[in-house]
Amino acid sequence: VTTSGIILIVQFYHNGMHKPGDVILGGLFEVHYTSVFPELTFTSEPNQLNCQGFDPPGFRHAMTMAFAIDEINKNSNLLPNVTLGYSLYDNCATLVIGLSAALSLASGQEEQFLPQENCLGTPPVLGIVGDSFSTFSIATSDVIGLFKLPIVSYFATCSCLSDRRRFPSFFRTIPSDAFQVRAMIQILKRFGWTWAGLLVSDDDYGRYVARSFQSDLVQSGGGCLAYLEILPWGDNPAELKRIVEVMKKSTARVVIVFAHQIHMIQLMEEVVRQNVTGLQWMASEAWTAAAVLQTPHLMPYLGGTLGIAIRRGEIPGLREFLVTLHSDQLLNTFQVRQFWEYTFHCRFAPPPLGWVEAGEELCTGQEDLENVETEFLDVSNLRPEYNIYKAVYALAYAIDDMLRCVPGRGPFSGHSCATLQRLEPWQLMFYLEKVNFTTPFGDQVSFDENGDALPIYDIMNWLWLPDGRTKVQSVGIVKKSATKGEELTLDENKIFWNFDSKQSPQSVCSESCPPGTRMARKKGQPVCCFDCVPCSDGKFSNATDSMECSSCPEDFWSNAQRDHCVPKITEFLSYQEPLGICLTTASLLGTFICAVVLGIFIYHRSTPMVRANNSELSFLLLVSLKLCFLCSLLFIGRPRLWTCQLRHAAFGISFVLCVSCILVKTMVVLAVFKASQPGGGASLKWFGVLQQRGTVLVLTSIQAAICTAWLVSSSPAPHKNTQYHNDKIVYECVVGSTVGFAVLLGYIGLLAILSFLLAFLARNLPDNFNEAKLITFSMLIFCAVWVAFVPAYVNSPGKYADAVEVFAILASSFGLLVALFGPKCYIILLRPEMNTKKAIMGRGTTKT
């Protein structure tokens, strides 16, 4: 619209190649990489675009489509009796030109298209192969999608194009950036690179990559981004300097770049200027094969680069087809003439629009391509060409399937089929979605519900040879199949690492946490930045980079390294440990002494000393003391059910038997003294032998009844106690009923106190009744030991409680043994002259 309000309708004349056919397929390619717009005129003539910078690979892309169509036309099994034609346009790497060319393909170049065989102008196409740029494809698909015209791109990777609601007719034979991002993440995880920088271009390609890369990286748990920077378009040295400084300061050794070749050229100029080395570069498919970056000047920085590359394929016969461009028919096309002039540095007469420098030789058209070095004929590394080849064949197979439809069994309304005479583009899209074929190279081609082909990429490595040459070699593939999902295959032995170690670099924010520790995230930093905190006692981690430490099972405890659990140390009063050995020795020694004393008393049973001290009760007392010593052994060793039940019962009954004998002896002493007084003879009849035996039996039976009731109601049982020590299992006998245990001890204490009181009352009797003093002293020891036992037992954990009880048993038993039988054995063995009736009675008479 001009300032005067006049609307200008501009019609461009596009650079194109055309071949007639029954069905026409369109193509959009970057044959030139820049353009100059002419001044707009008010004439009715089309405005001729001046596209500059001839791109031989781009022209080879266009000719690959021409070859594929020519090959299909020669194939009698595919589209028989149907001839494919093409209309190939140059987008000049300019959005408006590409969009204009696409609209021309969709609507026809003439203002009105008449469906007769002899119509003028290029007929509308049924499908378009292109465009090469994601941004161009987005704009084109937004418009062409309204016509339901299928577009099959060979180079547009933006994941946004998988949006079927916005781009219903868009297909592609190159994997989406979403898959490329996941492939990059798989490589990161393969080498343990959890800390990386990401650089993206400032366009749809870069922005969508940045968005999906961050989300997919978080979901996969593969690492974190140290920084995310956007590479500017055009000349912006200040911004590039800032970005390189960020890279230089970062601890990330891996740099991932999703950008175009021009961005990398500008970026590497700044990288060289600041001499930033020691980085591992990862390239997207947009610049993996960029020969302009593989120079001796840049390889010290870019050597060892790992990149995602479009799948390389082989197209038999393509080179032979490219060599045939010298034919007159092809040389009549504008693009071929430009290629010829560019390759042979000549010009056709008249000069084409003045873009060729004057003074060059005239082209004859008979020049031989075989005699000139041109990358146009290099078919050793066919990557975009292979995708173009697959795209053309996908359209051809869709048309073939459509034309093989049987009337009455078709997929459209009324089971109708599409025909060439009334063919609509949306009908072809239906069949394109169901295409499934295998290329001569062995790759399967089909489209999913989003129009994406089964993705497959080559993994490339930039090798810097010792002679200074560079080589881009394939070291693996990453692909997705319907059965196995996404697979990464790498030959790590072939990878060239541009580091002194010749090994894969490390790129982590924090070193991995070894087993025995857990990760503790640093506040305010990404999850990949963390501290390693040792697991607490009783917990372990047996894997690297554990988020949490796991608790050991109940009977296990963490080892010193906290990397696994070991069985807890079991603790009980053992026969093998020094304490157990000492107590066992003391117990057996006491038993032996009792046996010796018993033997002495039996041997000297007829002597006055033995007879005067109630020999039957003395023998019974010695037997009970022997049982007291022996019952202490039940407290030593691993607690079992029978030892737990027997130990306290044996202890209680043995001591009651012992104290009962002492109590009866004391009562007999008092009865004898009382009988010696005038009128006291009748008291002895109550303390005869039968009464003595009966009293001991009754008193012992009461304790036996207490023990029986305790065992029946709440029996002691072995117990694994983990309360005292976290890393130990203390085996102990729980008493079961505290009341039962208290009654047992209380009954023993009651008898002991009663014996002590009676003996204390009889301490001043005449010397011939001197045993009362010994009983008093022995019971004093006994009571003192057991009074001290209670607080010591309560405050002693685990095996030490058993040791305290054993010690109390042994101490009280030794006290009774020594106090009661020590003086008597002394007289019997060492002072036999005092072991006479006269001596015993004499002492008493003298005192009296």
Q: Which tens digit of pLDDT belongs to each residue from 192-223?
A: 899 999 999 998 888 888 999 988 998 888 78
CA atoms within a 13 Å half-sphere pointing along the CA-CB vector of 487? 12
Q: For 716-734, what is the mean pLDDT?
A: 82
Q: Tell whether the model's pLDDT for residue 10 goes beyond 70.
A: no
Over the chain, what is the mean pLDDT? 84
- pLDDT per position as a tens digit, 672-714: 666 666 655 555 566 667 888 888 899 999 989 999 998 888 8
Residues 388, 154 contacting (CB under 8 angstroms): yes
- Look at residue 329 in the predicted model and tell me its pLDDT: 56
Burial 300-339 (b: 16+ CB within 10 A, else e): ebbbbbbbbbbbbbebeebbebbeebeeeebbebebbbbb
What's the Rg (C-alpha) of the chain?
53
Q: For 313-325, what is the mean pLDDT?
A: 88
Highest averaged pLDDT of the listed ranges 13-27, 575-589, 757-771, 796-810 = 575-589
- Look at residue 173 in the predicted model and tell me its pLDDT: 93
| 3 state SS for 367-415 | CCHHHCCCHHHCCCCECHHHHHHHHHHHHHHHHHHHHCCCCCCCCCHHH
Interacting residues of 30 by C-beta distance below 8 A, sequence separation 6+: 55, 58, 61, 90, 91, 92, 93, 132, 133
Q: Tell whether the model's pLDDT for residue 817 goes beyond 80.
A: yes
- Look at residue 353 in the predicted model and tell me its pLDDT: 45
Q: Tokens 């920085």 belong to which residue?
A: 301
Q: Which amino acid is at 661?
A: C
Q: Tell whether the model's pLDDT for residue 358 goes beyond 70.
A: no
- pLDDT per position as a tens digit, 373-386: 888 888 888 889 99
β-pairing verdict for 23-29 and 47-48: unpaired
Alpha helices in 250-290 (DSSP H): 261-274
Tell me which of 105-119, 535-549, 659-673 is least confident: 105-119
- Look at residue 35 in the predicted model and tell me its pLDDT: 66
Q: Tell whether the model's pLDDT for residue 326 goes beyond 80.
A: no
CB neighbourhood size of 602 (10 A): 12
- Look at residue 118 in the predicted model and tell me its pLDDT: 45
- pLDDT per position as a tens digit, 281-295: 999 988 998 888 998
Q: Is the peptide bond between 578 and the residue preceding it cis, with omega within 30 degrees of 0?
A: no
Q: Tell whether the model's pLDDT for residue 595 goes beyond 80.
A: yes
d(CA 351, CA 344): 15
Q: Where is pLDDT greater, at 119 or 364?
A: 364
- pLDDT per position as a tens digit, 227-259: 999 999 888 999 999 999 999 999 999 999 999
CB neighbourhood size of 27 (10 A): 30
Alpha helices in 251-327 (DSSP H): 261-274, 299-302, 318-323
Residue 309: which of 203, 183, 471, 189 has the closest Cα? 183
CB neighbourhood size of 674 (10 A): 15
CA distances from 825 to 601, 604, 821 (A): 8, 10, 6
pLDDT band per the 50, 70, 90 thresholds, residue 73: very high
Residues 276, 298 contacting (CB under 8 angstroms): no
d(CA 744, CA 746): 5
- Look at residue 769 in the predicted model and tell me its pLDDT: 45
Cα torsion at 281, 285, 288, 291 (round to 10°)?
-150
Residue 144: which of 93, 104, 189, 172 has the closest Cα? 104
- Look at residue 665 in the predicted model and tell me its pLDDT: 81
Residues 325, 339 contacting (CB under 8 angstroms): yes
Structure tokens that stand for 412 in this block? 């459209």
Tell me which of 402-406, 550-554, 568-572, 584-588 is least confident: 568-572
Q: Tell whether the model's pLDDT for residue 308 goes beyond 60.
A: yes
d(CA 809, CA 627): 11
- pLDDT per position as a tens digit, 101-136: 998 888 875 443 444 454 433 348 889 998 888 888
Structure tokens that stand for 472 in this block? 């881009």
- Look at residue 848 in the predicted model and tell me its pLDDT: 31
Residue positions counted in the chain: 848
CB neighbourhood size of 558 (10 A): 25
Report which secondary-structure segment, H or E, holds 519: strand 517-521
Q: For 601-630, what is the mean pLDDT?
A: 83
Dmax over CA atoms of the chain, in Å, equals: 170
- pLDDT per position as a tens digit, 582-594: 999 999 999 999 9
Q: Tell whether the model's pLDDT for residue 847 goes beyond 80.
A: no
d(CA 598, CA 620): 9
Interacting residues of 620 by C-beta distance below 8 A, sequence separation 6+: 657, 661, 696
Burial 655-667 (b: 16+ CB within 10 A, else e): bbbbbbbbbbbbb
d(CA 259, CA 678): 129
- pLDDT per position as a tens digit, 177-191: 888 899 999 999 999
CA distances from 313 to 286, 309, 439, 457, 592 (A): 17, 12, 9, 11, 99
